[in-house]
């Protein structure tokens, strides 16, 4: 029987032999960009552990690249993740197809759009906090929000959308440091995240998190 679990800032749908993980992305900018990172692990009959099957193929897909196909010709339902990497070669669609185990499709139908909402909320938060960071983008960068800050925004968005955390909790429990303490804290934020923490606590940003938590709280993983 399939089960669903939290997995980093996304989810894992786990069957008996196969497991599908779905993670949000931190760099979504516009329609057509990838919004989901999706891959497959398998449990070997020779040892009790999971091995990555999709380590050597693209993992990043837009919603339109992901399809759940009904069972046919004696095969179970399928998850198809295929994406053209270049606009000028649309007929070339690398990716993968997985025949799903019983119960996995229902979880994917629910969780794929929820994880996509994490990606979109993280982008909304990025746009909301960037004007308050008081810095210009680095040379060749497309945003003043640094990569580690964008990852933190995904973590905050995940707590709001997938957990239904209220804004203060979504921020406080977003990023755990190596020493077991939290990056954002009432005792003081980690210096690398101090500007981001201050921007996240602005009323208009807290309102975005509160709205996301209210919409998603009843379905939190």
CB 123, CB 75: distance < 8 Å: no
Separation of alpha carbons 217 and 221, rounded Å: 9
Q: What is the pLDDT of residue 193?
A: 98
Sheet holding 95-99, edge to edge: 66-69, 78-82, 95-99
Q: What is the pLDDT of residue 219?
A: 54
Q: What is the pLDDT of residue 217?
A: 55
Report yes or no on whether pTM surpasses 0.95. Answer: no
Q: What is the pLDDT of residue 204?
A: 97
Reading the chain (221 residues) residue by residue, the pLDDT tens digits are 899 999 999 999 999 999 999 999 999 999 989 999 999 999 987 777 888 999 888 899 999 999 999 988 778 899 999 999 998 999 999 999 999 999 999 999 999 999 999 999 999 999 999 999 999 999 999 999 999 999 999 999 999 999 999 999 999 999 999 999 999 998 999 999 999 999 999 999 999 999 998 886 545 54
Q: Could you give the 3-state DSSP secondary structure of residue 62? A: coil
**3-state per-residue secondary structure call for 140-199:** CCCCCCCHHHHHHHHHHHHHHHHHCCCHHHHHHCCCECCCCCECCCCCCCCHHHHHHHHH
CB 183, CB 163: distance < 8 Å: no
Close Cβ partners of 208 (under 8 Å, ≥ 6 residues apart) = 121, 124, 125, 128
Q: What is the pLDDT of residue 215?
A: 80
Q: Could you give the 3-state DSSP secondary structure of residue 126? A: helix
């Amino acid at each position: 029987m399939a089960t669903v679990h939290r997995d980093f800032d996304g989810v894992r749908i786990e069957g008996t032999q196969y497991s599908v993980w779905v993670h949000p992305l931190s760099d979504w900018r516009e329609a057509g960009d990838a919004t989901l990172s999706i891959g497959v692990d398998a449990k070997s009959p020779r040892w009790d552990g999971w091995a990555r099957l999709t380590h050597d193929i693209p993992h990043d897909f837009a919603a339109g690249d992901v399809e759940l196909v009904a069972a046919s010709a004696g095969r179970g339902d399928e998850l198809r993740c295929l994406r053209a990497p270049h606009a000028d070669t649309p007929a070339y669609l690398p990716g993968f197809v997985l025949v799903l185990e019983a119960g996995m499709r229902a979880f994917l139908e629910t969780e794929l759009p929820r994880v996509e909402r994490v990606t979109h909320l993280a982008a909304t938060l990025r746009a909301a906090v960037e004007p308050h960071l008081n810095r210009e983008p680095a040379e060749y960068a497309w945003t003043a929000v640094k990569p580690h800050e964008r990852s933190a925004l995904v973590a905050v968005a995940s707590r709001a959308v997938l957990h239904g955390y209220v804004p203060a909790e979504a921020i406080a429990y977003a990023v755990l440091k190596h020493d077991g303490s939290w990056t954002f804290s009432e005792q003081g934020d980690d210096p690398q995240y101090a500007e981001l923490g201050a921007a996240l606590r602005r009323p208009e940003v807290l309102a975005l998190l509160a709205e996301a938590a209210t919409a998603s709280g009843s379905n939190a993983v």
